[in-house]
Amino acid sequence: MTSRASIELGDVTPHNIKQLKKLNTVVFPVTYNDKFYIDVLEAGELAKLAYYNDIVVGAVCCRIANSDNQRRLYIMTLGCLYPYRRLGIGTVMFNHILNYVEKDGNFDSIFLHVQVNNNGAIAFYKKFGFEIVETKENYYKRIKPADAYVLEKTLRPKSECNNIDHNNGPVNSHDSDKSKAKS
């Protein structure tokens, strides 16, 4: 009897953080520093490993970014090992994050950076309603092309955002780019 492949998400813990590091090293051209991984251990539902038939094949790591009177979710990394792409694993990870922000109900948008030539990721995020809102020249220090697009998915109208007191949410003080070790 054949059974369907399973895709499940699991917590990042001190026991499996090395798997996350290894995965990120393989999937992303950017190196993430120790602070990134310390913060990830505190991120709760915002950091997850993806298992395909019990094997770690992907991970998503996000954090809350507060700036300009906006509360936004920043996707630091969302990636899947190459042989396991186009199987719906990225979708499962993104839907987890989308469920989180929708349940919270107090986010203005979700955003991330991608290298301008990362057509696969751009197509993936556009499918979920993201738009290119900005190009950051020389965003990356050690990889080519160095330019990044900012992709953003708005979650509520701007007029509504202006009336919200952002001092009451579960916030942290990071600026959007600080905990990322740029390559």
Question: Which amino acids are annotated catalytic?
Answer: 74, 113
62: Cβ contacts below 8 Å, ≥ 6 apart: 43, 46, 47, 73, 74, 75, 76, 78, 97
Closest to ligand COA by CB, 66 or 77: 77
Nearest residue to ligand COA, scored by beta-carbon proximity: 90
Our CB check for ligand COA shows the closer of 70 and 118 to be 118
Q: Cβ 119 to ligand COA, closest distance in Å?
A: 6
CB of 160 to ligand COA, least distance (A): 27
DSSP calls for 162-183: TT--GGGSS-----TTTT----
Q: How far apart are CA 45 and CA 155, in angstroms?
A: 19
- Residues interacting with ligand COA, by CB under 6 A? 27, 75, 77-80, 85-91, 112, 114, 118, 120-121, 123-124, 127
Q: How many CA atoms lie within 13 A of 71 on its CB side?
A: 19
Task: Find the shortest distance in angstroms from Cβ 166 to ligand COA.
Answer: 25
